Amino acid sequence: MTDTLISSQVTCLAGLTFLPVITWVMDKLPSYYPSNRSHLGSVERPPARRKKLSRVFIFCGAAAAVWLWSASHHTFGPKHSVKLPLHAAETLQKCGMLHVLPGPPPDFAQRTQSDRYVPGTRATLLKNASVWTGDGELHSTDIVLDRGIIKFVGHASEENLHAYEDFLTVDVGGSWVTPGIVDMHSHLGVGSVPELDGASDTNSLKGPILPWLRSLDGLNTHDDAYRLSVSGGVTTANVLPGSANAIGGQAFVIKLRPTEERTPSSMLLEPPYTINDTRVDPSLPLRWRQMKHACGENPSRVYDYTRMDNIWAWRQAYDTARKIKESQDTYCAKAIAGEWNGLDDFPEDLQWEALVDVLRGRVKIHTHCYETVDLDDFVRLTNEFKFPLAAFHHAHETYLVPGTLKQAYNNTPAVALFATNARYKREAYRGSEFAPRILAENGIDVVMKSDHPVLNSRYLLYEAQQAHYYGLDADTALASVTSTPAKVLGLDHRVGHVREDIVVWDSHPLALGATPKQVWIDGIAQIDNPYISKKPIAFQSPPTTPNFDREAEAAIKYQGLPPLMPTPAKADAIVFTNVSSVYERTGSNIREVFSTRENEPGMVVVQNGEIVCYGTHHVCLVPMTSLGQTFESFDLQGGSISPGLVSYGSPLGLEEIQGETSTHDGNVLDPLSVNVPKILKGNEVVLAVDGLQFAGRDTLLAYRAWCNIGDHTSFIPRGAAHALQDGAVIQDTAALHVNIGHSTSRSVSTQIAALRHLLLDGTGETPFDHVAKGEIPLVVQVENADIIASLVKLKHEVEAARNVDLKLTVAGAAEAHLLAKELGEANIGVIVTPSRSFPEAWEMKRILPGPPLTEESAITNLLAHGVKVGIGILEQWSARNTRFDAAWAALESHGRISKSEAIALASTNLEELLGVQPSASLSGDLVATRGGSILDLEAQVVGVISSRRRSVEWL
């Protein structure tokens, strides 16, 4: 009888092992009620099955307790008599949890407040919202935030609100509301902003396999980027270790709200309960863990590994974990069977416990992995050791091998991508802007990510906007930064949907430049006195994006390297129809010379690269008729003709792959830091034109978005095959460029002293003498306001000594806004690089972030003081986005920057600041866009009209 009783109880205890694995029917929070629902905050009753299972769970727990009490006091039969060890109860609890998977408790949907609720927080009613919930759209909707969660979404009546004695009402006036942005790949808080040696905690270099490390242990709560990221709508971030290691360590998900505790732990969202204990509490539901792995070039470079070494390091590590797991399973099988003889302590190892949990399916693995060979390697690894993969990150070649991803163990991983950031390493060289849409079309979850601070996570939504522009459907694009990353992280019961954190936007979230009006995290508004720049009414709808089907097909056909060279028009005469606007240079300005009125479509007639007519069909009928039958016709579908743009600030045209030195022009010797070879004595200034590279992929992609290079010391149009081609180089020497800052071994005062000497004590033959005579501009790359102030004084000093007007431009200029008045008075131009400032280094710390944090941006502030302003970029891949940067500057200017002035920021203003002579300007080089102007996210660049080459090229 006793043996039978024990057997029955052991079976029930074994049931504890599998019971929590049952898929619960979860109620979604909040419930979306129609207007006739009366009770605010009520939720549907759980299915009856939940009650039954709960009773079974309680019964089994009680039975286990009775059995353990009985077993600890008795022996059973002479043959099998055994005295249970003191740790038996703890061990059996641990064994009972071995196969339990993480997830919220069954009653999570019934919670009445968040575990992150701050007592005293007032309830908030948002009225008249257009809501993208994470699942779909609701209009003219009310939202109630209370006790850190969203209690209601629907049409709130007075009866709904009777339970709230004190609440704040905010009428959002039809504005769009979305879940808070979820950044699934961030180094926020461990990759310091500004970058400082004392707060660099992204990577450990103590070995390739480090699963025991935790990003939480390096999380800096004083990072300047938290506030900036929140101002972009980011509410949740998965803080990953870096990619220097094959296994870099454990990641932690945080909310970006500053807490009263001011500690890293207080920022965590559902951390594993073992964060303060190495033992699992069986009374608490397991929570998902996150871990970082990395393939390819990064660990290979750091540890002087080949890919074969990296894979072997993984296999060794997972074999170690597998042996521990198998020993635990064997141990527990004996313990549950009552075979305690010979059983010592439970077999575990703190160093490897996280990797054992990976094999038990309780860790979300995030793998930095770019190209096919590495993707295939890692998929095989998942199958060899039987663990699921949450997502491949970066993953630039996943769109070429979606079938390989579907072979991963147990599930198809998501893919976390940049939108257009590629070609910076060999393994990123085949990256495509069409990857998100191609992967989605193959049924693979797409996540857009920042890799902050690689990209400023404040603009993570911009990644989704670009993915949408290149063909990802609107709902999937929005989900890629909200509900999809939340699902991949195992946190979609809390974030990624309208459940806890929300953002109110000033325009549709997929419209270019969409900016939060307010952000709520845990029911608390995050932006004090937000500044809002009014957007055009059209921006309240998602943009209608171009059709890139042909280009997406080519990306696959050519394995990521489709032909990019332009195609010459077959005829000398081109007639553009359905033209909405025409912009042209008039001196150093841009002017709109034609715009459609009363829906009468416009026409532009081009012959031999020259516009011979623009206007209505009636105005251009005669010039068009004179062409006879020998012309091509092109429908711009409401598009535009405008001057092409200029790219400044990156090595575009001087290197092809940033990570491959064999593709570079090489380092320019700094006379202050390096001993210049004697052969260069007296000729220390080099000419960028001598190192130009034509027909690189980034340069051609920039050309297809229509940007020329106005960088270094030369001015070069793109689209040429080589330097000897007619018109390939517009101007050999445009400006003299120098850098002054804190990043060299020489003091700032030494650098300025050297510049003073070169300008005042020259021989008359050097480029510095040409600057001192006012013949060419001096462009100084400088960020810090104090250094800029010294340059203003130096300009006055040289002008007084030389009796000339010194042409001085400062570039970078993160803190130039602090001297806007003085720069305007001194006639010093500024190239803001990047156009949306970011405090990457200490000398860039005092940025002017713009709306919603400040009313003015750096650009509007400088323009208001009469400063000539241009915009630049940092990396060559982003040259193609220059037109969007110019548009963005206008969108956050409160209407003070017109479209013409926005185009000038990236064209005529830059030409003037960089010393492009009027005779050499690109006044005849125009760009044709279909579906909108060059500034519109709806528009596609389709052709270049070049009077210099007397031709039109199709793109």
Q: At what angle do helices 2-18 and 48-71 cross, to 10 degrees?
A: 130
Tell me the pLDDT band of 559, cut-offs 50, 70 and 90: very high
- 542 prior amide bond cis, ω within 30: no
Report the distance separating Cα 232 and Cα 456, nearest Å: 10
Question: pLDDT tens digit string along 582-595?
Answer: 999 988 899 999 99
pLDDT over 60 at 35, yes or no: no
Task: Provide the pLDDT confidence category of residue 81 given band limits of 50, 70 and 90.
Answer: low
**What angle (nearest 5°) sits at the alpha carbon of residue 298, between those of residues 292 and 304?**
120
The partner residues of 738 in beta bridges, in order of sequence, read 780
**Which token pair is 825?**
């008075």
Strands 707-709 and 645-647: parallel
Percent of the chain with pLDDT over 90: 73
Share of the chain above pLDDT 70, in %: 89
Q: Is the pLDDT of residue 744 over 90?
A: no
- Rounded distance between C-alpha atoms, residue 388 and residue 252, angstroms: 18
- The answer on pLDDT for 4 being more than 50 is no
Check: pTM over 0.85? Answer yes or no. Answer: yes
pLDDT above 90 for 708: no
Least confident residue range of 57-61, 388-392, 726-730, 893-897:
57-61
Segment 423-478, tens digit of pLDDT: 999 999 999 999 999 999 999 999 999 999 999 999 999 999 999 999 999 999 99
Arithmetic mean of pLDDT, 565-591: 93
pLDDT digits (tens, 9 = 90+) for 645-672: 999 999 998 999 999 999 998 888 777 7
Looking at residue 90, its pLDDT comes to 86
**Between 139 and 630, residue with greater pLDDT:** 139
Q: pLDDT tens across 809-818, in order?
A: 999 999 999 9
Find the mean pLDDT for residues 269-285: 81
Q: What digits encode the pLDDT tens for the residues 296-338? A: 999 999 999 999 999 999 999 999 999 999 999 999 999 999 9
pLDDT tens-place string over residues 203-230: 999 999 999 999 999 999 999 999 999 9
Using only C-alpha atoms, the chain has a radius of gyration, in whole angstroms, of 32
Q: Which two tokens stand for residue 345?
A: 């302590």
DSSP-assigned letters across all residues of 49-65? HHHHHHHHHHHHHHHHH
Whether the per-residue pLDDT at 416 is higher than 80: the answer is yes
Work out the burial of residue 759: count CB atoms within 10 Å of its CB; fewer than 13 is exposed, 13-18 middle, 19 or more buried: buried
For the residues 501-511, what does the mean pLDDT come to?
98
User: Measuring CA to CA, which residue among 377, 361, 365 is closest to residue 184?
Assistant: 365
Summarize the confidence of residues 81-87 as an average pLDDT.
Answer: 78
- Residue 776 pLDDT > 60, yes or no? yes
Reported confidence tier of residue 260, pLDDT bands at 50, 70, 90: very high
Q: Tens digits of per-residue pLDDT, 782-827?
A: 999 999 999 999 999 999 999 999 999 999 999 999 999 999 999 9
Each residue's pLDDT tens digit, 180-191:
999 999 999 999
Average pLDDT for 34-63: 37
Q: Is 555 helix (H, G, I), strand (E, B) or coil?
A: helix
Mean pLDDT, all residues of the chain:
88
* The pLDDT of residue 714 is above 70: no
Distances (CA, A) of 190 to 181, 273, 302, 654, 777: 20, 22, 19, 32, 40
Distance CA 766, CA 684 (A): 9
What confidence tens digit (pLDDT) does each residue in 344-391 have? 899 999 999 999 999 999 999 999 999 999 999 999 999 999 999 999
- In this structure, of 17-21, 57-61, 851-855, the range with the lowest mean pLDDT score is 17-21
Higher pLDDT, 781 or 599: 781
Confidence band of 18 (pLDDT split at 50, 70, 90) = very low
- Integer Cα distance of 490 and 102 in angstroms: 8
Determine contact, residues 374/295, Cβ cutoff 8 Å. yes
Q: For 294, phi and psi rounded to 5 degrees?
A: -150, 130
404 Rama sector, left if φ>0, alpha if ψ -120 to 50, beta otherwise = alpha
Res. 283: pLDDT tops 80: no
> Tell me: the pLDDT tens digits for 51-76?
334 433 433 443 444 344 444 444 44
- Residues paired with residue 415 on neighbouring β-strands, in sequence order: 392, 446
Select the more confidently predicted residue: 281 or 642: 642
Q: Is beta strand 631-643 parallel, antiparallel or unpaired with respect to 573-586?
A: parallel
613 touches 620 (CB < 8 A): yes
For residue 823, CA distances in Å to 808, 846, 917 come to 10, 17, 23
Residue 524's pLDDT is 97
pLDDT, residue 764, reads 77
pLDDT computed for residue 9 by the predictor: 35
Per the model's pLDDT, the better-predicted residue between 165 and 8 turns out to be 165
The secondary structure of residue 722, as a DSSP letter, is S
